Structure 1
């Protein structure tokens, strides 16, 4: 009789322990479920905010959220050959748009980064400043920003920076040489220039002028120098050493020319003599 009571007592104790464990497990389950739900809702809100913006840059915001930019920013980054270690350096990003390259400089250790723009951030194009502001918020970035046109830049208005990024801007300017002189004045050491070029079959410095929207229907494009002109302009602006780092290979230019010819956007020969280049220049 005593043995039966002991068995029943132990069984009740075990059952009581199991009930308590189940309650604790259920509580933990609900807590984890609520945490997951909160993170899921936060991700959904972020995705909706991203979808509401016209993006140019492709930026990884984390947690699988990548901005749907028109620009293959990660591929372009490789062609720029930006220094891998920018620890302690100051960086100026001219024409920052959504800020991909500013944030990349921050990842590489730059101490001070200033992103500037005017044409996009002032609402004169299909883009806006919303992308930059959202990306900076989500990434927890310390990149500073300033609405300023390159034609207004000087050591007095901006200061001088160790590295200046001048990417995809030059051919959109009415006065490219004056712009390069301004850029040189705020460059303390190195400039990375990326731009569209034309007339690459001409060996002497030359530039194509687009009065209207001759360049792929883009009315914001004005001048496209050829590579010799880019080098000469950089030296004229005050850079002592200039080196071409990248240009589109022939197969790329042939494919682009065929595509534009088939769409009746440009002649095959004209498009074949156009490219994009990257130059590094030092003071």
Structure 2
């Protein structure tokens, strides 16, 4: 006997990013705390997903995919590549384990952002593009890929920088400048993010500061620092 309770799967050794609450009171000790994820979810899903087709680009351990399903989404497709089979430190093991434990019907596809399009993933009512934009080398092209599969609402969470400037600009981070992570490249300011999104055909934009960070854009001496923002954009 391995000490596991009857009927419960023994959890594998997984490097978790998301802190998930699973049936039976089991929790995963992820890099991102459960309280932060819960606060983010209230912003992400503030306009509802019940009865909607949802695409989660960059799902990783799947917190937002499973949360969309829990909140009544009709269908959820979770995609990732960098964290499931690419160069990231994560794997798909956490997602698969949580999927089994939750009895989830979320479907999955291992696909990189440049290959996202109507012909590969279909078109969805709500597209989640959370924590991805600053990791790509061509942010406009990546945003264009997400926009191409959005029928109604695109939700973006990203780092921003230079929010105090009056022009639409983006800051490039060399090496490990942003959070000691060499996979962080670009942080647009809010004007740049909105401008790109409007040029991709979205007509209504809502910006919300991250619930767990203090914004810097109102202080001239700190405007250059990076912030985090949620953007809801409608066709």
1:74 aligns to 2:26 (yes or no): no
Give, in whole Å, the separation in 1 of the partners of 2:151 and 2:43.
22
Aligned pairs (5 A) from 1:47-196: 48-49=11-12, 52-71=13-32, 72-87=36-51, 89-196=52-159
CA contact (8 A) 2:209 2:215 kept: no
Distance 1:97 1:154 in 2: 19
Residue 237, structure 1, aligned to residue 189, structure 2: no
Tell me the equivalent position of 1:281.
Answer: 233
Following TM superposition, the consecutive aligned residue runs of length 4 or more in structure 1 with deviations greater than 3 angstroms are 81-85, 269-272
Structure with higher Rg: it is 1
The number of residue pairs the alignment matches comes to 226
**What TM-score, normalized by structure 2, do the two folds share?**
0.89
Q: CA RMSD in A?
A: 2.1
1:155-193 CA-to-partner distances (Å, cap 9, x unmatched) read 111110000000000000111101111111100110111
- Structure 2 residue runs of 5 or longer lacking an equivalent are none
On the 8 A contact 2:79/2:109 being kept in 1, the answer is: yes
Distance in 1 between residues matched to 2:45 and 2:103, nearest whole Å = 25
In the TM superposition, residue 217 of structure 1 has moved relative to its aligned partner by: 1.0
Higher relative contact order (CA 8 A, sep 6+): 2
TM-score (norm 1): 0.74
CA offset at residue 204 of structure 1?
Answer: 1.3
Helix, strand or coil: the match of 1:190? Answer: strand
> What are the superposed Cα offsets for residues 209-267 of structure 1, whole Å, 9 maximum, x if unpaired?
01311112100011100111110011112212111133468x8357xxxxxxxxxxxxx
Q: Which runs of 5+ in 1 are unaligned?
A: 1-37, 255-268
